[in-house]
Amino acid sequence: MTGFDPSPDAPINTLSGFFRDHFGGRVRKVSLDAGFSCPNREGADRRGGCHWCDPSGSGPAKSESGWEEVLRAGAAKLSGKGFKGAIAYFQAFTNTLGGTSRLEEVYEKALSVEGVLGLAVGTRPDCLSMETMEILERLNRKTFLWVEIGMQTMHDPTLALCNRGHGHAATVSAFGELHRRGMRTVLHLIAGLPGETGDMIRESFEEAARLDPWGIKLHPLHVVRGSEFEKWHTQGKLRVLGLSEYAELAVRLIEVAAPRTVFHRITGERPEGMLVAPAWCLEKDRVRNEIYRLLHETGGFQGRLNRKN
């Protein structure tokens, strides 16, 4: 764990700061689509996917050259530029879906690529069988690893409305098992899901802080092309947050989170051609500056309101 000491001068424990402490220099993630699918899109009951999800499975577009080449090229690009190496980030779709031998083969292949320092595996909380947990635990003993699971909100009616395909209990259970096995876990949260009030969003933030994950990723609900929410938005059935509304919520999460929690993201990012709304999501620096400005103005910092602090 990092020796980060939050204060008004260093208000957020960021992933780049963690990398510097842990690896002694800069590290970059290489996002991959290794050809996994998603049980919520292509399972036997074909639920159609989460309503915010786009055809790329919330990850990078599939490359013609294959994920291994993407990883090799991504890691090679870093050498000689002052980076310590790369994290192979299995981001698109559900990266624990597949036979255990396929999973082991993919993860081991990634680790064999020159310059790869570790793995990040994005998945759903209801897609972590005990066999998969065992593979991840084994890998965690021999390399640097984190597992990302989508919590999004603690409110089951919202999860159902968004066609998430599981409730909050699945997140608590998967998180508990990952934690018991000593694995770094990152929780994903979305602010501004349909039907949620500010109080509901803040309740989810408190719940995430109670779980006390190693890392958190937050982004505002953003409508992307090809998603079900694009239809809702076109029909005027979906309101998106304004920038200042979002910034206030993000500050709240930062303040209720534990001081050591690593913030992997405090805003979303989509290529211009993919984003429908809100337009301010394209201006990542502006969003980040607004969050930092609010923290600065109020003397806020990470962990200020954390109950375990």
Which residues contact ligand SF4 (rule: CB under 6 A)? 38, 40-41, 49-50, 53, 57-58, 93-94, 124
Kindly state the tokens that stand for 129: 């069988």
Q: Locate 35 and state its tokens.
A: 């050809």
Q: Which phi and psi angles does 169 have, rounded to 5°?
A: -60, -35
Indicate the residue among 39 and 115 with the shorter CB distance to ligand SF4: 39
CB of 10 or CB of 160, closer to ligand SF4: 160
Q: What's the number of CA atoms in the CB half-sphere (13 Å) around residue 55?
A: 5
* Helix segments in the chain, DSSP class H: 15-23, 39-42, 67-78, 100-112, 130-142, 156-161, 168-180, 198-211, 228-234, 243-256, 284-298
**Looking at beta carbons only, is 94 or 140 nearer to ligand SF4?**
94
**Least distance between ligand SF4 and beta carbon 25 (Å):** 32
Q: At closest approach, how far in Å is the CB of 242 from ligand SF4?
A: 24
Shortest distance in whole angstroms from residue 149 CB to ligand SF4: 10
Torsion of CA 182, 211, 215, 167, to 10 degrees: 100
DSSP structural state of residue 236: T
Nearer to ligand SF4, 110 or 151 (CB): 151
Phi, psi of 246 (to 5 degrees): -65, -45
Minimum CB–partner distance for residue 38 and ligand SF4 (Å): 3
Q: Kindly list the strands in the beta sheet with 116-123, ordered across the sheet, starting from the edge strand earlier in the chain.
A: 26-32, 83-90, 116-123, 144-152, 184-191, 215-220, 262-265
Whichever of 38 and 103 has its CB closer to ligand SF4, that residue is 38
Nearer Cβ to ligand SF4, position 117 or 187? 187
**Token pair recorded at residue 238:** 């979906």
